[in-house]
Structure formats: C-alpha cells, structure tokens
Amino acid sequence: MGHTIAVIVIVGGGTAGWLTAGYLAAEHRERVAQGDLRIVLCESPNIPTVGVGEGTWPTMRSTLARLGISETQFMVRCNATFKQGSKFSGWRHNNSSEHCYYHPFAFAPGAEDGSLASYCALTNQWQGFSTLFGAQQSVCEAQLAPKNITHAEFDGALNYGYHLDVTAFGVLLSEHCQSVLGVEHIVADVQEVLQDECGAITALRLPDNQELKGDLFVDCTGFKSLLLGDALRVPFRSEAHYLFNDTALTTHVNYPAPDSEIDSCTHARATCHGWIWDIGLPHRRGVGHVFSSGYADVEQVATTLANHLGTDEAGLDFRKISFAPGRRDRIWQANCVAIGLSAGFVEPLEASALVMIELSAMALAEGLPRHTSQLPIIAKRFNAAFLYRWDRVIDFLKLHYALSERDDSQYWRDHRKTTSLPESLQELLTLWRYQAPRSSDFPMAREVFQSLSYQYVLSGLGYKPDLGREPTPDLIERAQHAIAHNQQVTNQLIHQLPGNRELINKIHRYGLSTI
C-alpha cells in the first residue's frame, strides 16, 4: 500500500518556506537533478511575509554553506552584520538600569560540566563567569568583529551569527533556490486543501480550478497555519500563561553618523512593559518593543520606545505586530509538516525562531521518507523531538523573567509567580539552587540551549548556587589556568580584531575568500 514520495509541495515563501526548500533541494541534489524528486514552492501574490526577524544563531553559517550561498554574497545582499550574542540590560532590577549581562555565542571550553561556573560561585565571582572564561563579551563591548578580513568565509576567531535584512534574505534565498538548486516556484493563492478519506492531503486548489498535487506537504504559511491548523485541524496550544508577550511595536532608526560603529550583539533592554530589541545593520538599526497587550496599551509602549530612542514619538513610523504565543499540539500530521510560524511562535527574546526553522528543515531533509508507509513513524519521531525542543525554548525564555527582581509593574511581578512557571523550569531551578547547570541536566545530545547558556543567564541574573563546600585544589588549578589563558586570548583578540563596521566595509569592497 502507499506510494513513493516524489513531489514535495511547500506552501509559503517566507524565510521558513525558502529555507526548507533550500535544505531539501541541497540534500537531495542528485534526485532533483534527475527529476526523481520535485520540490515545488507555492506562495501567495497577495499575502505578505511577516517581514521581521533580524537576528540569527551561529547555525546560519552552516545553513548557508549547505545551501551553497557564499558568505560574501549573503552579507552584501542582505546587509548583514555579525552577531556575537545578546546583551541584556535592566533585567535584574529596575532601580539600576546599568546592570547588564551577556549571553555570548562562544563556547567556553571545559565549562559544560558546570565546574568552572562552580568555581565562580565558590570564589565570589559568580557574576564574572562570562568574562573570566570567555573573550566574547569584551570583544562585543569594544564593538569589534568576530573575525578578520583574512579569515575564510564562515570561519572566525570567535563564534558568530548574523543580523540581517530579512526581506532581502528572502529574495536571495528565492533566487538561489530556483536558479541553483532547482526548486520550482508557483505564485498563486491556495484556495482549498483537498484531503483523502484518511485525512492525508492530496492536492491544493489554486485559482482557475488548477490543482497542485503532491506526496508530502510542508506548511510554511506563517501565523495562518493553513494546512496543519486550518485543514488538518491540529489544535493550537497557547503558552501565554508562561510567556505573556503577544505584541511588538517595531521601527527603523538611523545611526547618528554614517560611520557610527555597529554593535556586534543584539541589545535586549528590559522596560516596565517588556523589553526592547536593538539590532544594528550597516545602514540602519532595527528596534522593537515586545510587550503583552494584557498589561500595557500601544500608546504607553510607543512612549516608552520613543523615550528609549531619545526621539519624539510623532517622528517614528511604528508597525504593530500581534502574535499568539504558542505552538500546534503536533507539528507533523499525516503527510503534512509545519515549519516556521505555522508550527508556532513565542517572543523573539533569544531569536530562536530561525534556528527552529533550520533544525526542522535539516531534520526533514535528512530524514526524508521515501515511501508514504514510513510517514507515521517519521511523524512520531519528529513530533517527539520538536515538541521537546519547543518546551526547552519556553523554559529558557521564561528563565529571563523568572529570576528578575524588577517590581515596577504587575507584569514583572506576575512573571515570577510560581503558577506562571513551567513545571520543568521549576524543577531545573530547584536543582540549580545547589549546583551549577551542567550538560547532564538535559537528556538530548543536541539541545537547543546548552548548559553554558543557562550558566550565562543564571550568573547574569545573580542566581547563585549554594554549593556548600570549598573548591578542590584540582578545580582551583584548572580554573586559574583557564582564566589566565582566557586573559591572554582576550588581549590578543582585542588587539587583532577590526571594528565591526570596518570589517563589513572591507567585505563589501574586497569580499571574503572561500579558503
């Protein structure tokens, strides 16, 4: 029974749709070239893409490399800059807005098991963890790039992702997928989803009674969730009781001068209503205030944002984006998998949406079923893996609120009520009252957020474990050695690395070499 899978139809031409198409076509290059597998992407001429999402993870480097897009071309066409992590300001208290901490992308070798963080806790340097064992925070503070012009594409002195113009990225992906990777493109509104008696999708009805048939369907229709949600009726599960934010006010601002330095991290500044992101591209900054419509109204937030920017509200052109925080109960059902906003979305505090798209597209491409009889098993595994990841994303984002001591609004006070904390997070926080996060606290080999990320946030927010012992001589020696080494590396990097803008200008002018 069943049949082989030869036509994959992707609905939606946002970042999710094109990244999925790209992953599939690149992974199955030979089959696509031989006509044995067709990848068809259908997007509406009328419904715009969401048009936000300017911060990526370091995973984007391997994604681009897999798709065969050169880093130089990407940086020039998408006005990309280097992102080395996030800087959180004002998250701990509201009385001192100066308090800040970093969640950098760099790995701190030897820190996964929590021992180096323990050393910090035991020697009264808990909040110094990120600078004692890593150079990246100092590099970001100095507004330096993570690499030199002599580094090859995708290579660097420090780990990095990007800030980018998402609309330009969509255009680049679309061109590349079609001209290089053999993805077929249809511009049409899907009017109806046709299903067989078992609930599998057989075809999509397009205007003029045309039908688009396929064996496997990927729903990348954004918040609409046209296939998985509307047609297959997989229920939406709200996470608003954990993560209250459901609205963003966004705008673009210019630099004070064309050669102003570009920050190499995303700024996330807490306010009494939520937080403001500030992302630097070469020609402008993208700024947005994320908040909960249940706690603040747009006018209040617009004023806060304008104050933050030091401008007059009237001069700013705000765009309001509403979203329901949450995800579908299942992400894969029958022969339909949702990738992108159609699968779910929670606030962009750690820019985890694109990385979930990359992980989903990679898992789909690598585990692509050849025959429809494989579908139920693959669906089961995919759901287990990605629902687990969604829960970890929610835990990690909530952590930023749960440990805050801000009390300038009901919003923040409610955020740390026990009833608003996922049980899994409560458990982790209980463990971490007496130990530093370590990789064995998490069951998956490829966790979205590693133990190190938790260590950065806990130390940044002052949640210090009570270890109840003295550091062992062995730990002292290892930690001091690592600290001395890091000091040396930091000094070297501060000396050698160019400014972020300087390097971006050079890349526009000379390009990066592929080797």
Ligand X SMILES: Cc1cc2nc3c(=O)[nH]c(=O)nc-3n(C[C@H](O)[C@H](O)[C@H](O)COP(=O)(O)OP(=O)(O)OC[C@H]3O[C@@H](n4cnc5c(N)ncnc54)[C@H](O)[C@@H]3O)c2cc1C
- Which residues are near ligand X by CB under 6 A? 11-17, 42-44, 47, 49-50, 52-55, 166, 189-190, 220-222, 224, 226, 248, 288, 321, 323, 340-342, 348, 351, 353-354
User: Cβ(290)–Cβ(274) under 8 Å?
Assistant: yes
Smallest gap from Cβ 53 to ligand X, in A, equals 3
Rounded CA separation 493/1 (Å) = 61
Helices 473-496/115-122 angle, 10° precision: 100
Residue 511 as a binder of another protein (CB under 8 A): the answer is yes
For tokens 């035991």, the residue is 122
Smallest gap from Cβ 499 to another protein, in A, equals 14
Partner touching 115 among another protein, ligand X, none, CB below 5 to 8 Å by kind: none
Site stretch for another protein (CB under 8 A), options 35-43, 58-66, 145-153, 357-365: 145-153
Partner touching 271 among another protein, ligand X, none, CB below 5 to 8 Å by kind: none
Q: Which of 16, 331, 42, 332 is nearest to 191 (CA)?
A: 42
Question: In the range 101-130, which residues lie near another protein by CB under 8 A?
Answer: none
DSSP secondary structure of 155-182 = --SS--EEE--HHHHHHHHHHHHHHTT-
29 three-class SS: helix
Residue number, 9 or 493, with CB nearest to ligand X: 9
Residue number, 112 or 219, with CB nearest to ligand X: 219
CA geometry: angle 419, 424, 429, nearest 5 deg: 85
Smallest gap from Cβ 360 to another protein, in A, equals 34
Rounded CA separation 457/12 (Å) = 35
Our measurement of the distance from residue 476's CA atom to the centroid of its chain's CA atoms, rounded to an integer in Å, reads 36
Rounded CA separation 315/280 (Å) = 20
Smallest gap from Cβ 510 to another protein, in A, equals 5
Smallest gap from Cβ 377 to ligand X, in A, equals 26
Residue 512 as a binder of another protein (CB under 8 A): the answer is yes
Of 6, 50, 149, 489, the residue at the interface with another protein (CB under 8 A) is 149
Residue number, 303 or 492, with CB nearest to another protein: 492
Residue number, 81 or 459, with CB nearest to another protein: 81
Cβ-Cβ contacts under 8 Å for 156 (sequence gap 6 or more): 146, 147
Cβ-Cβ contacts under 8 Å for 244 (sequence gap 6 or more): 292, 294, 295, 325, 411, 414, 415
Rounded CA separation 372/461 (Å) = 49
Smallest gap from Cβ 74 to another protein, in A, equals 16
Partner touching 220 among another protein, ligand X, none, CB below 5 to 8 Å by kind: ligand X
Residue number, 101 or 323, with CB nearest to ligand X: 323
Partner touching 510 among ligand X, another protein, none, CB below 5 to 8 Å by kind: another protein
Residue number, 397 or 512, with CB nearest to another protein: 512
Partner touching 281 among ligand X, another protein, none, CB below 5 to 8 Å by kind: none
Partner touching 17 among another protein, ligand X, none, CB below 5 to 8 Å by kind: ligand X
Q: Which of 454, 441, 352, 440 is nearest to 400 (CA)?
A: 454
Partner touching 66 among another protein, ligand X, none, CB below 5 to 8 Å by kind: none
Rounded CA separation 202/193 (Å) = 8
Residue number, 97 or 514, with CB nearest to another protein: 514
Partner touching 200 among ligand X, another protein, none, CB below 5 to 8 Å by kind: none
Longest CA–CA span in the chain (Å) reads 77
Residue 510 as a binder of another protein (CB under 8 A): the answer is yes
Site stretch for another protein (CB under 8 A), options 142-150, 254-262, 313-321, 383-391: 142-150
Rounded CA separation 453/112 (Å) = 10
Smallest gap from Cβ 166 to ligand X, in A, equals 6
For tokens 């900054």, the residue is 285
Count residues contacting another protein (CB under 8 A)?
A: 12
Q: Which two tokens stand for residue 109?
A: 């070798």
Rounded CA separation 127/479 (Å) = 15
Residue 506 as a binder of another protein (CB under 8 A): the answer is yes
Q: Which two tokens stand for residue 425?
A: 């997070």
Residue number, 119 or 217, with CB nearest to ligand X: 217
Residue number, 116 or 183, with CB nearest to ligand X: 183
**Phi, psi angle pair for 294, to nearest 5°:** -75, -15
Rounded CA separation 125/459 (Å) = 9
Rounded CA separation 94/237 (Å) = 32
Q: Which two tokens stand for residue 472?
A: 């062992």
Residue number, 43 or 153, with CB nearest to ligand X: 43
Rounded CA separation 274/291 (Å) = 5
Q: Which of 302, 50, 73, 257 is nearest to 179 (CA)?
A: 73
Of 70, 73, 148, 167, the residue at the interface with another protein (CB under 8 A) is 148
Residue 150 as a binder of another protein (CB under 8 A): the answer is yes
Site stretch for another protein (CB under 8 A), options 46-54, 324-332, 448-456, 503-511: 503-511
Residue 513 as a binder of another protein (CB under 8 A): the answer is yes
Rounded CA separation 137/288 (Å) = 23
Partner touching 148 among ligand X, another protein, none, CB below 5 to 8 Å by kind: another protein
Q: Given phi > 0 = left and psi -120 to 50 = alpha, else beta, which region is 304?
A: alpha
Smallest gap from Cβ 420 to ligand X, in A, equals 21
Smallest gap from Cβ 321 to ligand X, in A, equals 5
CA geometry: angle 106, 112, 113, nearest 5 deg: 160
User: Which residues contact another protein (rule: CB under 8 A)?
Assistant: 148-151, 506, 509-515
